[in-house]
């Protein structure tokens, strides 16, 4: 059986403001994929992803709104 790891992800908008902080995901979206955020009730495009590696593996996902 496959090991299921959850990633700690923070979603950030184009202005650098945090939309969601520390959300746990099983799958990390890729650049140019679309994600729907229930809190915002709209779709976003993943514009960039930054990984930070220290004692934990955290991920910042930068989003731009889709009109």
Number of domains present in the structure of the chain: 1
- Residue 41 placed within a domain: no
**pTM for the full model?**
0.83
Question: Does residue 40 carry a pLDDT above 80?
Answer: yes
pLDDT band for position 57 (cuts 50, 70, 90): confident
- Residue 3 placed within a domain: no
Sheet strand arrangement including 18-25: 18-25, 7-13, 57-65, 42-53, 34-37
Domain range for 21: 8-32+49-67
| Contact between residue 33 and residue 48 where contact means Cβ atoms under 8 Å apart | no
- Residue 42 placed within a domain: no
- Residue 40 placed within a domain: no
Question: Does residue 4 carry a pLDDT above 80?
Answer: no
- Residue 54 placed within a domain: yes
């Amino acid at each position: 059986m496959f090991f299921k790891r959850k990633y700690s992800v923070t979603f950030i908008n184009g202005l650098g403001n945090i939309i969601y902080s520390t959300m746990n995901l099983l799958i990390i979206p890729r650049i140019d994929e679309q994600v729907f955020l229930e809190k915002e009730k709209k779709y976003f495009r993943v514009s960039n992803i930054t990984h930070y590696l220290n004692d934990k593996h955290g991920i910042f996902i930068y989003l731009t709104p889709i009109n």
